[in-house]
Amino acid sequence: MRNETVRNTAVTNETARTYDVIVIGGGPVGENVAERTRAAGLSTVIVERELLGGECSFWACDPSKALLRPVVARADASRVPGLDPAVAGPLDAERVFAHRDRMSSYWKDEDQADWLNSVSVDLLRGHGRLTGPREVTVETPEGNTVALTARHAVVLSTGTRAALPPLPGLDSVRPWTSREATSAREVPGRLTVVGGGVVAVEMATAWQALGSRVTLLVLENGLLERMEPFAGELVTDALREAGVDIRFGTTATSVHRDGGAAGEVRITLSNGEQLVADEILLATGRAPQTHEVGLEAVGLTPGDWLSVDDTFRVTGVAGGWLYAVGDVNRRALMTHQGKYQARIAGTVIGTRAKGEPVDDAPWGAHAATADHAAVPQVVFTVPEIASVGLTSREAERSGRRVKVVDYDLAQVAGAHQYGEDYRGRARMLVDTDRGTVVGVTFAGPGVGGLVHSATIAVAGEVPLDRLWHAVPAFPTLGEVWLRLLETHRG
């Protein structure tokens, strides 16, 4: 089918349209699905109510890493002899914000729309809702209503939103969520962050370095509780050294902002104390964006996560036409994992539309397996944390017999190139029955670059006898693989 969309002008002048595939949600996940279905010869439209490119491009991955990159680079440089005095001064917040703005395309999505046009995917701007099997109604910004019908599939890739706690006084406070934390244009003098997960520690790292006095309220007894304990411990030490006030076993019980928009935020804590801040960031989890997409029209509950099979068909919906990819299915809430799901879902939809068995899909892309066994993640703090596969706690709960192999990353020759006082740790989990690696965690400066080698080892189920022949270059941090194997052998 010929693409007739130029940016957001496409189908808004029609009241009805039929496509092979309708994708609701135009973030990177929706874009990847649409590209795959269009490549399979299926006419495809994306329905998007905000910016094409989604949360990752404008309020998460890109802007957050733009804020964090100067912080991590300065921390690395401060350990290198000859550079340390040169980087001792404060960060230039205005230049950091300018870089962040460029990385976020100034919150404009023309380039994304041009790319969609180049791959012949239509774009309809507006709020899409399911109204029946294979039927979607779109309310456009101009106030028009467009009825869409799908011949083969409707794909929900609407992502997640910040989950805010039922905190007394919250409505009047206008708290920061991850969106405000990554797009703010001024450095608050005092910032209180509620939470102990990835968003909390990354934003505490960024804003402390930009000049805020940060207080971190963590209900749990450690940071990054879903990762290996040593990861959270190293990040805790680094944040405290940077000046962050971390309070474990504590959370906010009520909030109040004095004197209007510019007033101070008064925060009552669970231990009865009070804090005063200029802004409060609630990094307390995510909720699915399914409350306004018409799930009730197909027998599902609005606001629920969507259960799917390994081809991303939504379970409980007759006919096999509804798919859910990315964060909305809760399998792995990370952009790269959502794009992986999108590639599979798009390939499967194209294969099924041709009446071919999905087992014959190219390069084995007929079912997702990495969501269960090999999900990589990098936390861009000081130090960096990188992991894939199981943690030791998860392995224990699963009943696997594993051997935990630890190594001090500071003993690797490549770590010395990062300067003095390198602190880091590596852990490899070996399935003793199969002789394969099932989980790896690295913590230390520069470890983000190690995660893909670990992902290949885990996803490929590479036997340890073969890993001995993957020779790491000297002197790099990658030599930790050799040291882990030597430690395992004993």
Taking the C-alpha atoms of residue 112 and residue 120, their distance in angstroms, rounded to an integer, is 13
Residues 6+ apart with CB under 8 A from 89: none
Give DSSP secondary structure letters for 219-262: SSSSSSTTS-HHHHHHHHHHHHHHT-EEEET--EEEEEESSSTT
Distances (CA, A) of 263 to 172, 174, 182, 289: 11, 11, 21, 31
State the pLDDT at residue 1: 31
Taking the C-alpha atoms of residue 375 and residue 156, their distance in angstroms, rounded to an integer, is 22
pLDDT tens digit at each of 490 positions of the chain:
333 333 344 455 568 999 999 999 999 999 999 999 999 999 999 999 999 999 999 999 999 999 999 999 999 998 888 887 878 888 999 999 999 999 999 999 999 999 999 999 999 999 999 999 999 999 999 999 999 999 999 999 999 999 999 999 998 899 999 999 999 999 999 999 999 999 999 999 999 999 999 999 999 999 999 999 999 999 999 999 999 999 999 999 999 998 776 789 999 999 999 999 999 999 999 999 999 999 999 999 999 999 999 999 999 999 999 999 999 999 999 999 999 999 999 999 999 998 888 775 555 566 777 778 899 999 999 999 999 999 999 999 988 999 999 999 999 999 998 887 899 999 999 999 999 999 999 999 999 999 999 999 999 999 999 999 999 999 999 999 999 999 999 8
Taking the C-alpha atoms of residue 343 and residue 398, their distance in angstroms, rounded to an integer, is 29
Residues 6+ apart with CB under 8 A from 56: 27, 28, 62, 335
Q: Which CATH architecture has domain 383-489?
A: 2-Layer Sandwich (3.30)
Nearest alpha-carbon partner for 160 in 59, 66, 251, 64: 59
Taking the C-alpha atoms of residue 400 and residue 172, their distance in angstroms, rounded to an integer, is 49
Taking the C-alpha atoms of residue 211 and residue 184, their distance in angstroms, rounded to an integer, is 13
Taking the C-alpha atoms of residue 121 and residue 37, their distance in angstroms, rounded to an integer, is 9
Give DSSP secondary structure letters for 96-123: HHHHHHHHTGGG--HHHHHHHHHTT-EE
State the pLDDT at residue 362: 54
How many CB atoms are located within 10 Å of the residue 8 CB? 19
CATH 3.50.50.60 at 170-284, yes or no? yes
What's the gap between Cα 241 and its chain centre? 27
Q: Are both 170-284 and 383-489 of the same fold? A: no
Distances (CA, A) of 55 to 1, 62, 160: 29, 9, 9
Q: Per this entry, what is the length of the chain?
A: 490
The answer to whether 27 touches 54, Cβ cutoff 8 Å, is yes
Enumerate the domain spans of the chain.
Answer: 16-53+109-161+288-370, 170-284, 383-489
State the pLDDT at residue 9: 41
Strands (E), 251-384: 252-257, 265-269, 274-277, 279-282, 286-288, 322-324, 377-379
Pairing of strands 190-194, 322-324: unpaired
Nearest alpha-carbon partner for 24 in 322, 232, 375: 322
Three-class SS state of 124: strand
Quick one: 16-53+109-161+288-370 is in which CATH superfamily?
FAD/NAD(P)-binding domain (3.50.50.60)
In degrees and rounded to multiples of 5, residue 431 shows phi and psi of -70, 110
